[in-house]
A and B are shown apart, each in its own frame.
Chain A
Amino acid sequence: MISKVTPAVAAAVLALVTGTGHADTIDTIDRYVTFSGFGTLGVVHSDYSQADFIGNVVQPRGAGFKSWSATPDSNLGGQAKFTLADSLSGVFQVLSRDDANGQWKPTVEWANLQYQITADLKVRVGRMVLPTYEYSDTQYVGYSLPWVRIPIEIAYTDAGLHSDGLDVLYRVKTGSVTQNLQLQWGRTRVDLPGSEFTSTPATVVVFSDTLQYGDTSLRLVYQRYSSSGFPPVQLGVTGAGLTYDPGGWFVMADSNYSQDKFFGDLFSWYLSGGVRIGRFAPYAIYSMSRAQSVGTSRLTALGNDHTVAAGVRWDFAKNLDTKLQLQQVTIDSLDDPASFANLTSRARVGDKADVLSWTLDFVF
């Protein structure tokens, strides 16, 4: 995160502010470039021997029986933000975590130029992470999350990857309600192991509206992928989420309905709540993924599982937190249940996995 201001620098800033009298020039420290970063060190244990518990649908392996795995949650990210002119800036963010090929390899998640046209209108060109669901664009910044990780079910049809294209952000105020509108268009590769458009780039269009009223926020999103690869993809995702977080406690719900000719329709949702007691924030989550129709793939219950989780976040030091989460995942289908990879032939519908996760998150 941004480094602390030293008295000498602050004095210089004040001098500049006094000199010009312009609002924008208050940001003269770190004028050209600022560096920041984040990371998570995590281990996961599962007591289920017939599949690997994964932290993200793209991961090909995770925590199996009696083995601890760092794969689901561990990551490291770095960001550089460049200020090129008063209304022109650039951002570059690199993330390393176990990817779809099971390799710890850095990828560029954000790389774009941002032009501020008016106080409420911004345009970005380059690479942006898709805003498909709540926290999808900071899901790997563990410090920003109340839980160990985003409920996997919500990300099942869309892992929340980046696209290369254009993004328009517009803020509208109506009384005490602020709407943040976002329209994104670009090309992307959705890298699901062994399925979907692994090699053919898809066109993606996203429209989202986040309505903020004090501590309440409502998020609506529609996203559409199209690709002419095999199978041809016409995937539409409609999402809605609601958060109320006055500080001392929070409730959050998010959902999405995805429609695809090949895979059929899927509905995913979760409900979560938590309280804050000093530096501790215990929470609970219930999440689920349910196939709604059969596509031409003839998979009848793709992704089906559900999870009950409880955990606690402890902000034990500045810019550091640690979380412990226990969850029970029930397999409701043998067709690629959302939370698992590598099912053995002995896996059965109704099997339950008890999964224990521990993470240490940091930002700087």
Chain B
Amino acid sequence: MVIVNLAAAPMSKEQVADLYLGRSDDCIPIDQPVGSGIYVEFYKKVTGRDSAQVKAIWSRLLFTDRGVAPKQLPNSAAVKKAVAANPKAVGYIEKSAVDASIKVVLSVN
């Protein structure tokens, strides 16, 4: 699995985790459907958390009006398209889905 963005500047796992857990708003994180294989793998490997923990974290931010959970797009193709269209957007997709429209900023094995 890889983390992608329009810029080629590499990101650390911690930076990506901060984005998806609402600790940073340097970029706009884009999500895959909750519970999908890639969603589960991404959160487990990058944040060390499962979907319920992630939901609990975002509930805390939502109900104090400090943030809204990342938008979910239906699949990697949609994520890729959104990332390609917005320099601030960050997404995660399968390594095999990478093409010239986006850059890999972090690889997660």
Contacts and interface: CB of A to CB of B under 8 A. Distances in A.
B71 interface: yes
A78 to B, nearest CB: 10
A103 interface: no
A114 B73 CA distance: 27
Contact of B64 (A137, A178, A363): A137
A137 B64 CA distance: 7
Contacts, number: 118
Given A14-B85, A38-B63, A318 B49 contact: no
B95 interface: no
B82 A14 contact: yes
Nearest to B17: A214
B62 A26 contact: no
B82 A17 contact: yes
B86 A321 contact: no
A138 B86 CA distance: 33
A114 B68 CA distance: 14
Contacts of A84: none
Contacts of A246: 48
Contact of A321 (B30, B52, B73, B81): B52
Contacts of A18: 81, 85
A146 B74 CA distance: 30
B71 A4 contact: no
> What does DSSP make chain A's interface, helix, strand, loop or mixed?
mixed
A110 B63 CA distance: 9
Nearest to A79: B63
Interface residues of B, number: 43
A276 B86 CA distance: 36
Contact of A4 (B17, B72, B85, B86): B72
Contact of A144 (B17, B56, B68, B86): B56
Contacts of A26: 28, 30, 71, 82, 86, 89
Interface of A: 1-2, 4-5, 7, 10-11, 13-14, 17-18, 21-23, 26-27, 29, 34, 36, 38, 77, 79, 81, 89, 91, 93, 110, 112, 114, 119, 124, 129, 135, 137-138, 141, 143-144, 169, 176, 178, 212, 214, 246-248, 276, 279, 315, 318-319, 321, 363
Interface of B: 14, 17-18, 23-25, 28, 30, 33-35, 47-53, 55-60, 62-66, 68-69, 71-74, 78, 81-82, 85-89
Given A23-B28, A138-B63, A247-B48, 5 more contacts: A7-B78, A10-B74, A26-B86, A81-B68, A214-B18
